[in-house]
Structure 1
């Protein structure tokens, strides 16, 4: 049965296509998890996606299902924002088009550089013979041990020759003129953005389009570094041009990476523009803090070591021994605590939030100094002796504090963006989730991991190979 999932607008810090356009839903494809209008989201896409703040749980665990659902919600949100941006004509935004062009040129420049440097890397028998003649004694015979070393030396020499000749190759037949007088550092403050600073291959480069690269700290104190950077920008353009001439822009890997960048960058730009338009007033921030203070404020936390005893007499006896140094709190937890987890934790209780525990215990824990021993104090669980080992102070408690206002504003904006995405789903773009596919695929994944675990037990000599195979599934 098809169900709609709750959408969660989040901050995406990964480059992923998150969905592919298709004219009609391909329901025969069992990997499809959702459709957002004409875009589809598949199980392999989610498996290959990483999001900051989300770790990858072990295969076959309930936690993994939760993470996959979270990723699916985020993927749906990304696709909704992408469609909204496209519908609002953001693909034609000059800033977006420029960034897309810069990204494509950068990729093609790197691809062509590698393509060119490897083009003449084959080592022939003549190359080997010439190298031996030049670097070895006369009549030296090349054995099987020496041959690979010589081949590597020849290949490296060829690489260096190609590398040294790369710039000459790029500039062959291309006129490049740099107007050094328009690059003087002392004129940066008065130079017009329209000022032409370089001409190459029929193009002109203006100060406005290049100054973000030329006014870095290093380039603002040394004109030679500025010139080197400018030459690098021109070389990058020429490399990209050569890459297109060589057909490298038709490479599937390039096209896929460019498509992923296009979606991610467009969504991020659109989110930023939406957030700017949704900026709340100071009064709205204060009102939101008043209404949601419990969610915004971070109460003080204490990290505790704890021993729980069955009665007051035992607790007082243990407390006395701890005070005299006759017993450590770890020994007390291991040998005397009635907490069923004590043998595993040795009394390390972890972090507790102020106001979240038994009142008597809470009062004691948040009055002790770090390192101080306290108790015993009685709760329904027994008699407690505790030591505070660390502290996290409370924050976001006062709306007049700048950090609190910033945190409150951030949460309010996040809520507004989330509401905007939900409205897109309701009113603009249909969202369908194929829950039966998700359940089946997660079940198949769990069955696969069970079979692989059994295989490792039966063939321990293949354990590393199997583990690598399992690891590759979630990376």
Structure 2
């Protein structure tokens, strides 16, 4: 069965992939939840997203719960929207946008620099017998016996010394065979405002590094204290370029993890740039903002909220007696809620009723609650639920109530743009890129997950000694 899923307006991007091209491998059809054009969204992708990343506005329900399916559907909607915008951006040629290409290059270079640094320093972990013997001869007496207890300690010392030596020699290794020139006279801090962006400040590996491409790093407050800090940062920029080059020469850009991370960054940045460009083209006029506010005022306005602590009893006499004890200090509101409230939750909540919105409750109770000051005791007030004694413990002021207020205008504009973007994405789905959702796969996989959790829970109850191994299995499932 193939059914549509309603698109959500928000296109939330986070650190795990929202989709892969269908041409890319290794995805069983049984694991596919949706196809967007030539891209696929899998259960494992969304499961990783849900379990490993803090997602704005979403909780992380326990494995096997109905709430988890609801959140997975929300993530699936977001992934569909993101992929539609990505395909639209690619179709509009945004991959050739200079800003996008520059950011992609910077990200790739940064990753490769880190990978090659670790690759180079990892060699310090390889210790030969000759290095062990050399260390022993240098630091120990001739008749010392290197047994199984002493040898690991010596290996650790040799590794540490070798690591420090390689780390200190990293720049020399990078600069080998090339002439690196830094034009210190063009880095004078007092000349920053006069210096041309075309001014060459360093030359290496056939590259002329200019002030214009480097000043965002070199002209920071921290690097404008003295020339030494500026030179240190500039050397770091050169090192990172050379590290990235070495990484490519070593084939580190061909690894699956690197390719996956670069593809993910590419999707994220392209969609964000596309959304920004779309929003600029959808910018509403002042009158459109005002009209939207009038039409959607109820959904935009945030009414005043009060946080209540409350006791509810059956009759007025009981309420008056409790009120008298409260005013004399013979009883606290916590005790009154615990011992006298007819609210079935009172023994657990001790009368903490939570936040209420103005105009959302019984009229008499609402009037009393929003007339009290913070900490003031109020009541008794009669409602169909009983007689109420209450105290206000906190409040949140109303906002977005007047379109003349700049914050209200900004909030209204933001919601209007969000609605327009959502309509644009729905149009992409209807007219440009086919979307197929496999709900039967989601239902089956969620059921299998719930059954697996149930089986593991029973196993833990029957074999407590195996609980640790089972928990490790469960942890591996969500990582």
Question: What is the TM-score normalised by the length of structure 2?
Answer: 0.95
Indicate the residue corresponding to 1:296 in structure 2. 300
CA-to-aligned-CA distance 1:300-356 (integer Å, 9 cap, x gap):
111111111011111111111111121111221111111111122111111111111
Checking the alignment, whether the CA contact within 8 Å between 2:11 and 2:82 is kept in structure 1 is: no
Structure 2 SS opposite 1:55: coil
Residue 240 (structure 1) aligned with residue 261 (structure 2): no
Q: Quick one: which of 430, 447, 450 aligns to 2:451?
A: 447
CA-to-aligned-CA distance 1:147-203 (integer Å, 9 cap, x gap):
222211110000001011110000001121222222222332233222222221011
Checking the alignment, whether the CA contact within 8 Å between 1:16 and 1:264 is kept in structure 2 is: no
Indicate the residue corresponding to 1:280 in structure 2. 284
Q: Quick one: which of 183, 190, 199 aligns to 2:194?
A: 190
Checking the alignment, whether the CA contact within 8 Å between 1:24 and 1:38 is kept in structure 2 is: no
CA distance in 2, matches of 1:27, 1:468: 25
CA distance in 1, matches of 2:475, 2:384: 45
CA distance in 1, matches of 2:247, 2:357: 58
Indicate the residue corresponding to 1:21 in structure 2. 21
Are the structure 2 counterparts of residues 25 and 464 from structure 1 closer, same or farther at C-alpha, using a change threshold of 3 Å?
closer
Indicate the residue corresponding to 1:9 in structure 2. 9
CA-to-aligned-CA distance 1:330-383 (integer Å, 9 cap, x gap):
221111111111122111111111111101111111111111111110110000
Indicate the residue corresponding to 1:336 in structure 2. 340
Residue 261 (structure 1) aligned with residue 265 (structure 2): yes
Q: Which runs of 5+ in 1 are unaligned?
A: none
Checking the alignment, whether the CA contact within 8 Å between 2:377 and 2:389 is kept in structure 1 is: yes
Residue 77 (structure 1) aligned with residue 66 (structure 2): no
Q: Which runs of 5+ in 2 are unaligned?
A: none
CA distance in 1, matches of 2:27, 2:150: 59
Are the structure 2 counterparts of residues 390 and 434 from structure 1 closer, same or farther at C-alpha, using a change threshold of 3 Å?
same
CA distance in 2, matches of 1:101, 1:195: 22
Structure 2 SS opposite 1:139: coil
CA distance in 1, matches of 2:392, 2:468: 43
CA distance in 1, matches of 2:226, 2:28: 62
Q: Displacement of 1:220 after TM fit?
A: 2.5
CA distance in 1, matches of 2:144, 2:373: 79
Q: Which moved more, 1:460-469 or 1:351-360?
A: 460-469
CA distance in 2, matches of 1:185, 1:425: 53
What is the RMSD computed on CA atoms of the aligned residues?
1.8
Indicate the residue corresponding to 1:40 in structure 2. 40
Q: Displacement of 1:281 after TM fit?
A: 1.8
Q: How does 1:118-197 map to 2 (within 5 A)?
A: 118-197=122-201
Indicate the residue corresponding to 1:320 in structure 2. 324
Checking the alignment, whether the CA contact within 8 Å between 1:25 and 1:35 is kept in structure 2 is: no
Q: Which moved more, 1:120-129 or 1:314-323?
A: 120-129
CA-to-aligned-CA distance 1:79-131 (integer Å, 9 cap, x gap):
00000000000001111111111111111111111111112422223322322
